[in-house]
């Protein structure tokens, strides 16, 4: 079996399993309790846990009442290292973290067959942290699930939405979009920019996600488009920056957590 190994264990999050599980559980326990219906989709940040872990906990805590109900996670995030057009599935049959292996859905490629924006390519996945840092949270929050991991390069909202249409499924399927918000602005500027982005997310305003507002802008816009067409509603769960969680306030990165149901 071809396994995509963990690339950022020991840097973005602990490499020792018991330490990793304890940190994830701590972030989940500190978050507000679940609200409302089971989310169809979550938006969560992907920085090192010292920075974005508390906000990620706000997103994944929402899964607690449905721990045994979700069997498939469609996970989308931006490509930080490899420029390409479209969305990339890996050839690996599993992804691994210090908490164990996660099987990649065997039918993912066949479900997406015929979509020209989807390619099978490992290079975008090899070093990418945007998907990987969400996996330990999912492993702790859920019981057993299979993964559809998609790194998103340059892609229009319609192209991402078309992929989500193929993978939408029912209550067994959760969609997760991994994105941070503004980057390297001073604290006050970042807060204002992120507030505008959060308002656009809650309003399902695809065009309101400005260039530079989120590193995962392309998958986020696709999710909002697909959600708007299905009449979903968005709840803002958390909105903070590294200036609130760790580090100084001269150059911060923004983080948001949202649930769509």
Q: Within the chain, what is the greatest distance between any pair of CA atoms?
A: 48
pLDDT tens digit sequence for 113-136: 999 999 999 999 999 999 999 999
Q: Which pLDDT band, with edges at 50, 70 and 90, does 226 fall under?
A: very high
User: What is the reported pLDDT for 149?
Assistant: 99
Whole-prediction pTM value? 0.98
Residue 256: count of CB within 10 angstroms of its CB: 27
Range of the domain at 161: 3-260
The token pair at 94 is: 């599993």
User: What is the reported pLDDT for 183?
Assistant: 98
Q: How many residues are given for the chain?
A: 261
Which CATH number goes with the domain that contains 164? 3.40.830.10
User: What is the reported pLDDT for 36?
Assistant: 84
Residues contacting 256, CB < 8 A, separation 6+: 43, 45, 55, 179, 181, 194, 197, 198, 201, 236, 238, 239
User: CA–CA distance from 223 to each of 40, 102, 161, 258 (Å)?
Assistant: 11, 23, 6, 12
Q: In this model, does residue 7 exceed pLDDT 90? A: yes
Can you tell me the mean pLDDT for 197-216? 97
Can you tell me the mean pLDDT for 77-93? 98
Can you tell me the mean pLDDT for 58-74? 97
Q: Which pLDDT band, with edges at 50, 70 and 90, does 35 fall under?
A: confident
DSSP symbols for 77-146: EE-SS---BSEEE-S-SEEEETTEEEEBPTTHHHHTTT-TTEEE-SHHHHS-HHHHTTHHHHHHHSSS-E
- Look at the chain and report how many structural domains it folds into: 1
Please give, one letter per residue, the 3-state secondary structure of 161-186: HHHHHHHCCCCCEEEEEECCCCEEEC
* Percentage of residues of the chain with pLDDT beyond 70: 100
* Percentage of residues of the chain with pLDDT beyond 90: 98
């Amino acid at each position: 079996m071809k396994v995509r190994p963990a690339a950022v264990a020991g840097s973005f999050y602990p490499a020792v399993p018991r330490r990793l599980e304890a940190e994830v559980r701590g972030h989940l326990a500190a978050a507000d309790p679940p609200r409302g219906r089971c989310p169809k989709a979550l938006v969560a940040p992907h920085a090192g846990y010292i920075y974005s872990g508390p906000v990620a906990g706000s997103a994944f805590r929402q899964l607690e009442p449905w721990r045994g109900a979700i069997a498939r996670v469609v996970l989308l995030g931006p490509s930080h290292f490899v420029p390409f057009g479209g969305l990339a599935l890996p050839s690996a049959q599993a992804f691994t973290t210090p908490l164990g292996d996660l099987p990649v859905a065997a039918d993912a490629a066949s479900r997406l067959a015929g979509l020209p924006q989807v390619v099978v390519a490992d290079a975008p996945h090899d070093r990418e942290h945007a998907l990987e840092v969400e996996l330990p949270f999912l492993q702790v929050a859920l019981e057993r699930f299979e993964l559809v991991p998609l790194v998103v390069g340059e892609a229009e909202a319609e192209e991402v939405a078309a992929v989500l249409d193929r993978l939408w499924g029912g209550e067994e399927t959760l969609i997760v979009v991994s994105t941070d918000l503004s980057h390297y602005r001073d604290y006050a500027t970042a807060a204002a920019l992120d507030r505008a982005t959060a308002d656009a997310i809650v309003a399902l305003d695809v065009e309101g996600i400005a260039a530079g507002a989120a590193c995962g802008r392309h998958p986020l816009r696709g999710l909002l488009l697909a959600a708007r067409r299905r009449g979903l509603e968005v709840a803002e769960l958390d909105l903070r920056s590294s200036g609130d969680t760790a580090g100084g306030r001269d150059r911060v990165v923004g983080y948001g957590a949202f649930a769509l149901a």
